[in-house]
């Protein structure tokens, strides 16, 4: 009987211990379009996350690969559940790093025709090309995920890998995503003491539901088009230039947004007041002169 009670106590202790540690059920998935490719052949890897119904609102991580075997062609973010990129996927020494958030949280993609099941969400699509023959790995590091709990609690996924076999034969195959839609642009000119010392700054978010946005350019007044990233310190700090922003997706489709000048050309309210004061002074002087003449 004593043994039995001890067993019960042990079980209760074990269960309580389990309940105080958060079980990180989320995991990453690497989904490849082709596992066996030739030299010169392009393929993609979708980096996906299954949150197991946990609501997350931030992701930070990296993907590594061997550049002896593979070349990164591009990173497509069009299908991503991330809506604001803190750090867009950039390649640096065979490492593709990224970080982003999804406001109000993501707990799995809902298919409205079958809403009972939530599907894993795509984080990013990486397009590679076979460079030299051999077996090679694409590795995803343990991802840092923040819970949508108001405190930014961090959980981690385990690392994951996928393997690609590159044949000696050469076969030039270009992977192109279908994209008939143009990107959308949200942009504002703003001033804030914590952003370029209160200078006029352009902030924007571009979005493309298929391939993702390749380039964003700006044209201030009559100046030339220039490739930029958000936030962008405007060259013209007078606030009197028309600003055009153009977003181009990986299929070459583009859209342009025009922002009217912050300050209107011509007379401002301040100028009108000065003008009015000068007129009044002139009238008073004229009137005084007239009275003085009459008195004489």
Partner 1 sequence: MFKNKLNKNIVFLIIFLLFTPIFVYGVDIVVNDNISISAIVSSNIAPPGGGGGGGGGGGVNPPQTVVNFSGMAYPLSRVFILQDGVIVVNTISDPGANFSVSVTNLSTGNYTFSVYGEDAKGRKSQSFSFPLYITSGTTVNIGNIYLSPTIDIDKSEVKKGDNLAIFGQSVPSSDITISVHSDPEYFFKIKSNTNGVYLYNLDTAILELGKHQTKSKSAIDTRVSSFTSPLSFLVGNETKVKEEVLCSTLRGDLNCDNHVNLVDFSIMAFWYKKTNIPAKVDLNNDTKVTLVDFSIMAYNWTG
HSE value, Cβ hemisphere, 13 Å, CA-based, for 37: 27
Quick one: which segment of 32-40, 79-87, 159-167, 284-292 binds partner 1 (CB under 8 A)? 79-87
Task: List Cβ neighbours of 251 (8 Å cut-off, separation of 6 or more).
Answer: 176, 177, 178, 179, 180, 210, 211
| Site for partner 1 contains 174 (CB under 8 A) | no
Per the structure block, which two tokens stand in for 116?
């009972």
Q: Please, which residue, 89 or 101, has the CB nearer to partner 1?
A: 101
Strands 160-173 and 36-50: parallel
Candidate ranges 39-47, 144-152, 155-163, 165-173; the one touching partner 1 (CB under 8 A): 144-152
- Quick check: 89 and 128 in contact, CB under 8 A? no
Whether 240 contacts 265, CB under 8 Å: yes
Query: Which one among 43, 65, 81, 200 touches partner 1, defined by CB under 8 A?
Result: 81
Answer for which of 156, 163, 188, 290 binds partner 1 (CB under 8 A) is 188
Under the criterion CB under 8 A, does residue 104 sit at the interface with partner 1? yes
* Encoded tokens for 168: 């000696």
Using CB under 8 A as the binding rule, the residues of this chain from 34 to 63 that contact partner 1 are 53, 55, 57-60
CB 166 within 8 A of CB 110: no
Evaluate whether 11 touches 5 at the Cβ level (below 8 Å): no
Bridge pairing between strands 213-220 and 226-227: antiparallel
Structure tokens at 43: 């393929």
Q: Among 41-49, 185-193, 234-242, 245-253, which window interacts with partner 1 (CB under 8 A)?
A: 185-193
Query: For residue 127, which of 179, 197, 72 has the smallest C-alpha distance?
Result: 72
12 vs 276 by CB, closer to partner 1 = 12
Taking CB under 8 A as the rule, does residue 28 contact partner 1?
no
CA–CA separation, 246 and 184 (whole Å): 10
State in angstroms the smallest separation of the CB of 25 from partner 1: 10
Name which of 151 and 224 has its Cβ closer to partner 1.
151
Among 26, 41, 290, smallest CA distance to 157 is for 26
Closest to partner 1 by CB, 159 vs 231, is: 231
Q: How many residues bind partner 1 (CB under 8 A)?
A: 69
Identify the residue among 33, 38, 97, 146 touching partner 1 (CB under 8 A).
146
Write out the residues near partner 1 by the rule CB under 8 A: 4, 7-8, 11-12, 15-16, 18-19, 23, 53, 55, 57-60, 78-81, 83-84, 86-87, 99, 101-113, 115, 119, 121-122, 144, 146-152, 154, 181, 186, 188, 190, 192-196, 201, 203-205, 207, 209-210, 230-231
């Amino acid at each position: 009987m004593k043994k039995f009670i001890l067993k019960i106590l042990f079980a209760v202790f074990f269960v309580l211990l389990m309940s105080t540690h958060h079980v990180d059920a989320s995991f990453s998935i690497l989904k490849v379009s082709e596992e066996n490719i030739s030299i010169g052949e392009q393929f993609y890897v979708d980096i996906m996350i299954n949150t197991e119904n946990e609501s997350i609102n931030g992701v930070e991580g990296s993907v590594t690969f061997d550049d002896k075997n593979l070349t990164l062609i591009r990173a497509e973010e069009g299908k991503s559940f991330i809506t604001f990129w803190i750090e867009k996927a950039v390649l640096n020494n065979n490492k593709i790093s990224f970080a982003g958030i999804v406001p109000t949280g993501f707990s799995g993609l809902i298919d409205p025709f079958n809403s009972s099941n939530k599907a894993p969400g795509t984080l990013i699509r990486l397009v590679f090309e076979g460079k030299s023959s051999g077996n090679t790995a694409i590795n995803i590091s343990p991802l840092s995920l923040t819970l949508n709990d108001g405190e930014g609690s961090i959980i981690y996924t385990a690392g994951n890998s996928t393997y690609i076999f590159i044949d000696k034969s050469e076969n030039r195959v270009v992977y192109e995503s279908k994209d008939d839609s143009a990107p959308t642009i949200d942009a504002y000119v703003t001033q804030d003491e914590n952003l370029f010392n209160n200078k006029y700054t352009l902030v924007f978010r571009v979005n493309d539901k298929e391939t993702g946005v390749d380039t964003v350019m700006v044209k201030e007044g009559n100046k030339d088009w220039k490739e930029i990233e958000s936030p962008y310190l405007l060259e013209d700090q007078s606030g009197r230039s028309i600003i055009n922003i153009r977003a181009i997706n990986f299929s070459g489709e583009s859209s342009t947004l025009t922002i009217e000048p912050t300050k209107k050309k011509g007379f401002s309210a301040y100028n009108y007041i000065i003008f009015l004061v000068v007129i009044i002074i002139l009238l008073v002087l004229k009137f005084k002169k007239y009275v003085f003449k009459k008195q004489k």
